[in-house]
Amino acid sequence: MKTTSFPKGNSEDFAFDAENLKRAETITARYPEGRQSSAMIALLDLAQRQNGGWLSVPAIEYVANYLEVAPIRAHEVASFYSMFNTQPVGKHFIQVCRTTPCWLRGSDGITEACKKKLGVGLREVSEDGLFSVIEVECLGACANAPMVQINDHYYEDLTPERMTEIIDELRAGEDVPVGSQTGRLSSAPEGGPQTLLEVAGSEVASPGEGD
């Protein structure tokens, strides 16, 4: 597709780089001719990632032009789905799950720890540009509540103290282990598996064995 032939929009300040242009071509090729607008969510996601984690007006309208649809169509999608940010966010975008399991397990404390540590309110960006925090609905890791999503990764079984440590580690550029922060295996019960203790003739190691 050539963007020069598309409906006019305010896309002068954004364009896919070579890598994302190739990805966009691959994605839109999955759909029948005339149905390329079905790639809207995927292409907005590409644009958001390239644009530092948020969608500016030029980025949204570039995607609309690329898909040959009216700009309002892209604005409708970008403003409807919570996965899209229409204002700048920090490099480490913290999404605190606040749905019932996480709330019962202390998500309010996780939010407050983030706000206090970073000196920001919800949807604000820290002074160093590294962090922003929002609250979201269920992220699907209820068994390991409370949890947050930071960019593409889940951090589970959190405490306010551990959340503060994670922020310090990310700010220092350290690699932070993803998943459970207590060493829990996947979504196994705290204390280790209680059933299926033998798999293929071998015993499943209890927590702490082999350390």
pLDDT of residue 189: 81
On whether the CB atoms of residues 24 and 46 are closer than 8 A, the answer is: yes
Q: Cα(45)–Cα(51) distance, rounded to whole angstroms?
A: 10
pLDDT of residue 188: 81
| Residue 12 within any structural domain of the chain | yes
Shared domain for 100 and 55, answered yes or no, is no
Tell me the angle at which helices 40-50 and 71-80 cross, rounded to the nearest 10 degrees. 80
Contacts of 12 (CB under 8 A, 6+ apart): 58
The 10s digit of each residue's pLDDT in 102-152 is 999 999 999 999 999 999 999 999 999 999 999 999 999 999 999 999 999
Q: Cα(152)–Cα(166) distance, rounded to whole angstroms?
A: 15
Shared domain for 176 and 100, answered yes or no, is yes
Shared domain for 17 and 75, answered yes or no, is yes
Shared domain for 110 and 43, answered yes or no, is no
Last residue of a domain, one of 49, 80, 111: 80
pLDDT of residue 201: 62
The 10s digit of each residue's pLDDT in 144-161 is 999 999 999 999 999 999
Number of residues that make up the chain: 211
Shared domain for 51 and 121, answered yes or no, is no
| Residue 157 within any structural domain of the chain | yes
Q: Cα(44)–Cα(78) distance, rounded to whole angstroms?
A: 7
Shared domain for 40 and 65, answered yes or no, is yes
pLDDT of residue 187: 83
Shared domain for 70 and 125, answered yes or no, is no
| Residue 189 within any structural domain of the chain | no
Q: Please give the mean pLDDT across all residues of the chain.
A: 89
pLDDT of residue 205: 55
Written as six digits, the tokens of 44 are 């907005």
Last residue of a domain, one of 80, 102, 125: 80
Q: Is the dihedral of CA 42, 43, 49, 52 positive or negative?
A: negative
Read off the pLDDT band of 51 (50, 70, 90).
very high
Per-residue pLDDT at 11 exceeds 90:
no
| Residue 101 within any structural domain of the chain | yes
DSSP β-ladder status, 179-180 and 153-156: parallel
| Residue 193 within any structural domain of the chain | no
Contacts of 82 (CB under 8 A, 6+ apart): 136, 137
DSSP β-ladder status, 131-136 and 148-150: unpaired
CATH code at 111? Answer: 3.40.30.10
Shared domain for 174 and 122, answered yes or no, is yes
How many domains are contained in the chain?
2
Q: Cα(188)–Cα(182) distance, rounded to whole angstroms?
A: 12
Shared domain for 172 and 100, answered yes or no, is yes
Last residue of a domain, one of 60, 80, 100: 80
CATH code at 63? Answer: 1.10.10
| Residue 196 within any structural domain of the chain | no
| Residue 38 within any structural domain of the chain | yes
Task: For residue 112, give its domain range.
Answer: 92-180
As a whole-number percent, the residues of the chain with pLDDT over 90 amount to 79
| Residue 192 within any structural domain of the chain | no
